[in-house]
């Protein structure tokens, strides 16, 4: 029974079955007209055979033409056959009005259903005209006269048209409902997968998954040798602090630290490789790069921003009872292998090479709140930053001494513009970056400074009276 449920068929199958229904309704109308003797065709049996055979011929030949010539030619042939049948129908029903309207309605629906082009419609009109002329000549019809239909034939035609259009409309309504249901399910699945993708994306560098999403990279085992600037940092004294704090407090500090440092890295275009305990590995130059010199400059700017951010974090943590947290930073520029390492079932996007290890060794040799860079990085950033030579250091795991430099700050010429203000006292920390301050936030900053100044003056007056 399922094969006869045409409402659950696809468009092509429905077109096949509903054509059978259409010609079956035509056959009923023709039989009723014969029974009432309102029409008297010359060969009624031949007409009945033709009405029965046309839909079968159309359906079985359409499959062949679709396979051989494509669906466009097949649907055009079906419409041309329908136009010829319409001419044949007008002749055998003696141009009776209601039966003619019945078949014309079916032909009109077929044109809409198959989305016929204007060229096909013109071809149908031409084919109908030629067929009507030839058939009229064969049946001895000299002139066309529209004849009224008997009441019962007209009623049967009304019922047939209603059934035919009802089946089509009900099918479209059901299909529309199914499409909406499938769209809803698809949207739910898409939302589910997007949520999952967003969650999984947090386990990979932002630049990496964006590159994969754009089709610029592939998730496969592959790596390349490339010149990068590598940043390595850790928190001085974190090991000792971890022995004193509860696990929840330790996790809070570590996540707070990583959150702020990662935001800074993202702002300067760094690729956050991994977190190792309290250490962070970041590199510049892949999958996106602005050039070796610009990458090195961005890396040092990021390191300075992190040191400034740590001053704010220290004050916050101090109010919570955690003191003495400082960071050390090592930066090196050199060639590494960067890409996906691992297996096809699990891989990691990271860097491998001696120059990556050198950045880690520089971080270990740095003092607290110090940025220590290699000579290769120094050559790229010396024109933008004030550097102090720290001499050649013997670093663990390296056979020869390494020339190192300490980043003090930006060049004096840039500092003279006073675009950056940084003051730190016991219980007082002020950082003002006029390059980052939005124009519309200037008035708010002035208001805050005035409030702080007023509060300090009141505190001074109160202390003076107490003395």
Q: Over the chain, what HEC string results?
A: CHHHCHHHCCHHHHHHHHHHHHHHHHHHHHHHHHHCCCCCCCCHHHHHHHHHHHHHHHHHHHHHHHHHHCHHHHHHHHHHHHHHHHHHHHHHCCCEHHHHHHHHHHHHHHHHHCCCCHHHHHHHHHHHHHHHHHHHHHCCCCCCCCECCCHHHHHHHHHHHHHHHHHHHHHHHHHHHHHHHHHHHHHHHHHHHHHHHHHHHCCCCHHHHHHHHCCCCCCCCEEEEEEEEEEEEEEECHHHHHHHCCHHHHHHHHHHHHHHHHHHHHHHCCEEEEEECCEEEEEECCCCCCCHHHHHHHHHHHHHHHHHHHHHHHHHHHHCCCCCCEEEEEEEEEEEEEEEEECCCCEEEEEECHHHHHHHHHHHHCCCCEEEEEHHHHHHHCCCEEEEEEEEECCCCCCCCEEEEEEEEECHHHHCCCCEEEEEECCEEEEEECCCCCHHHHHHHHHHHHHHHHHHHHHHHHHHHHC
pLDDT at residue number 404? 92
The token pair at 98 is 């209601």
Q: How confident is the model at residue 228 (pLDDT cuts 50, 70, 90)?
A: very high
Q: How confident is the model at residue 4 (pLDDT cuts 50, 70, 90)?
A: very low
The token pair at 448 is 């805050």
Q: What is the dihedral of CA 41, 47, 48, 49, to 10 degrees?
A: 150
More confident residue, 432 or 335: 335
Are the C-beta atoms of 290 and 269 separated by less than 8 Å? yes
The C-alpha R_g of the chain, in whole angstroms, comes to 42
More confident residue, 64 or 229: 229
Q: Residue 448 pLDDT more than 60? A: yes
Q: How far apart are CA 40 and CA 34, in angstroms?
A: 7
pLDDT at residue number 414? 47
pLDDT at residue number 176? 82
The token pair at 263 is 């935001």
- Give me the residues paired with residue 424 across strands: 429
Q: Residue 9 pLDDT more than 60? A: no
More confident residue, 40 or 271: 271
Indicate the range of 40-44, 72-76, 151-155, 438-442 predicted with least confidence: 438-442
Q: Residue 302 pLDDT more than 90? A: yes
Q: Residue 465 pLDDT more than 70? A: no
Q: Residue 158 pLDDT more than 80? A: yes
The overall average pLDDT reported for the chain is 82
pLDDT digits (tens, 9 = 90+) for 123-135: 999 999 999 899 8
31-35: long-range pairs with CB below 8 Å, 24+: 32/152, 32/153, 32/156, 33/93, 33/96, 33/99, 33/149, 33/150, 33/153
pLDDT at residue number 229? 95
The rounded Cα 286 to chain-centroid distance in angstroms is 23
pTM flag (> 0.75): no
Q: How far apart are CA 283 and CA 331, in angstroms?
A: 9
């Amino acid at each position: 029974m399922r094969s006869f449920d045409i409402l659950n068929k696809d468009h092509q199958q429905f077109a096949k079955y509903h054509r059978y229904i259409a010609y079956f309704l035509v056959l009923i109308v023709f039989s009723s007209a014969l029974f009432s003797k309102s029409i008297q065709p010359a060969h009624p049996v031949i007409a009945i055979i033709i009405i029965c055979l046309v839909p079968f011929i159309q359906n079985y030949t359409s499959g062949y033409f679709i396979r051989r010539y494509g669906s466009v030619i097949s649907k055009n042939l079906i419409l041309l056959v329908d136009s010829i049948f319409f001419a044949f129908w007008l002749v055998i029903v003696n141009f009776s009005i209601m039966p003619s309207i019945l078949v014309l309605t079916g032909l009109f629906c077929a044109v809409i259903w198959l989305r016929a082009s204007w060229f096909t419609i013109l071809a149908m009109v031409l084919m109908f005209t030629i067929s009507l002329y030839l058939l009229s000549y064969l049946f001895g019809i000299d002139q066309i006269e529209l004849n009224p239909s008997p009441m019962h034939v007209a009623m049967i035609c009304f019922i047939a048209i209603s059934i035919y259009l009802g089946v089509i409309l009900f099918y479209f309504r059901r299909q529309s409902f199914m499409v909406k249901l499938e769209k809803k399910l698809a949207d739910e699945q898409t939302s589910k997968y997007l949520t999952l993708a967003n969650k999984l994306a947090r386990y990979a560098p932002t630049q990496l998954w964006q590159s994969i999403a754009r089709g610029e990279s592939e998730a496969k085992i592959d790596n390349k040798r490339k010149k990068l600037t590598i940043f390595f940092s850790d928190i001085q004294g974190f090991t000792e602090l971890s022995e004193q704090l509860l696990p929840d407090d330790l996790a809070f500090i570590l996540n707070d630290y990583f959150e702020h440092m990662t935001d800074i890295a993202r702002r300067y275009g760094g690729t956050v490789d991994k977190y190792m305990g309290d250490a962070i590995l970041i590199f510049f130059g892949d999958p996106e790069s602005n050039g070796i010199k610009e990458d090195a400059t961005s890396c040092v700017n990021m390191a300075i921003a992190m040191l400034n951010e740590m001053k704010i974090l220290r004050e916050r943590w101090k109010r919570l009872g955690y003191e003495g947290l400082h960071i050390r930073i090592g930066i090196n520029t050199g060639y590494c292998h960067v890409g996906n390492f691992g297996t096809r079932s699990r891989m990691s996007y990271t860097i491998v090479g001696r120059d990556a290890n050198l950045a880690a060794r520089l971080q270990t040799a740095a003092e607290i709140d110090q940025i220590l860079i290699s000579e290769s990085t120094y050559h790229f950033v010396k024109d933008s930053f004030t550097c102090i030579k720290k001499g050649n250091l013997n670093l663990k795991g390296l056979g020869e001494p390494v020339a190192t430099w300490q980043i003090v700050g930006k060049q004096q010429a840039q500092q003279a513009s006073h675009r950056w203000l940084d003051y730190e006292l016991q219980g007082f920390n002020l950082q003002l970056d006029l390059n980052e301050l939005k124009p519309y936030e200037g008035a708010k900053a002035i208001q805050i400074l005035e409030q702080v100044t007023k509060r300090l003056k009141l505190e001074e007056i109160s202390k003076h009276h107490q003395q």
